[in-house]
Amino acid sequence: MVIPGIVWMLIFNYWPMYGIVIAFRKFNIVKPISAAPWVGMRYFIEFFKDDRFWLVLRNTIGISLLKLIICFPLPIAFALAVNELRGRRFKRVVQTLSYLPHFLSWVVLGGIMMNWLADAGLINRLLVGMGILKEPKFFLADPGSFWSLAVVSDLWKETGWNAIIYLAAIAGIDPELYEAATIDGAGRFARMRHITVPCITATIAILFILAVSGLMNSNFDQIFVLKNPLNADASDVIDIFVYRMGLQSGRFSYSTAIGFFKSIIALGLLLSANTVAKKLRGTALF
């Protein structure tokens, strides 16, 4: 029964990895990969010398770090809060409403955000009406606001969905631990602090390792929808740069080299985070 899954993985996950070699070849789309001449590290060096190298690297790491610092702990706090809700029906309503944005594509959510953040949009009307702004501001045209908008929109879309795994971990905690703590006089916050959080620490550690390994990914769909020429200095990340070089400019070898560079960094982050987590908490992926 496992054989079809293994075959599918070999065909669609492992066999395409052969194409990575074009990062070291001068590839021409009308010729096979094997006919492309070797150029070694030429495209990697070209990327490092590119005028926008430091810009795209800064934007990628900056947005990803903000998401790690803000968007990683909030689903944990949200899961803990939802777990403490007593009304079962109200709890289900809260969970459903928090999951809903995840099932909407970034095209839909991006359109909503563009309407809300426009000069005559809902956000500007509220801010001007409350006296916070003197005149409307087109937020998506301001590079200084883009990172914050990327983090806030990611929170809006994914907080409820990311909390699911924590809620599942909390559901697996032995109820007798809570009963014993209640008998000993522990209040709600004491039970949360001394039982709930320690029991889900392993889950948090594993997800944190995965989050750190994904620092070089900046959610292509989100950035692609929200970016425009006015905020390019803040929205031009590595994924967008690869798309522009590869699909728009047809520089396949160059874009593959950039993508391969990103993958190497991601692998290093994964191994480092895994090692640190194993030494600190004794929990790791491998």
Q: For the beta carbon of residue 128, count every other beta carbon within 10 angstroms.
A: 14
- Which DSSP category does 227 fall into? -
Contacts of 161 (CB under 8 A, 6+ apart): 98, 99, 102
Strand partners, 243: none
The residue behind tokens 């190298």 is 53
pLDDT band at residue 74, thresholds of 50, 70 and 90?
very high
Q: Is residue 126 part of a domain?
A: yes
Burial of 198 (0-12, 13-18, 19+ CB in 10 A): exposed
- Give the number of domains in the chain: 1
Mean pLDDT score, 51-77: 94
Model confidence at 283: pLDDT above 80 = no
Contacts of 39 (CB under 8 A, 6+ apart): 24, 25, 26, 253
Read off the tokens for 168.
Answer: 């599942």
Q: Is residue 45 part of a domain?
A: yes
Q: Is residue 98 part of a domain?
A: yes
Q: Is residue 175 part of a domain?
A: yes
Q: What's 193's domain CATH number? A: 1.10.3720.10
For the chain, report the end-to-end CA distance as a whole number of angstroms: 26
Mean pLDDT score, 110-130: 87
- Separation between Cα atoms, residue 187 and residue 3, nearest integer Å: 51
Which pLDDT belongs to residue 98? 92
Q: Is residue 145 part of a domain?
A: yes
- Separation between Cα atoms, residue 90 and residue 124, nearest integer Å: 32
- Separation between Cα atoms, residue 158 and residue 219, nearest integer Å: 12
SS3 content of the chain, % helix, strand, coil (to 5): 75, 0, 25
What's the chain's Rg over C-alpha atoms? 23
Predicted structure pTM score: 0.89
Task: Provide the sign of the torsion angle of the four alpha carbons 275, 276, 281, 284, taken in this order.
Answer: negative
Which pLDDT belongs to residue 253? 94
Which pLDDT belongs to residue 184? 86
Q: Is residue 177 part of a domain?
A: yes
Mean pLDDT score, 41-68: 93
- Which helix (H) or strand (E) segment holds residue 42: the answer is helix 42-49
Q: Is residue 3 part of a domain?
A: no
Read off the pLDDT of residues 124-170 as tens digits, 9 standing for 90 and up.
Answer: 888 888 888 888 888 888 898 899 999 999 999 999 999 999 999 99
- Separation between Cα atoms, residue 182 and residue 205, nearest integer Å: 28
Which pLDDT belongs to residue 121? 83
Domain that holds residue 30: 22-281
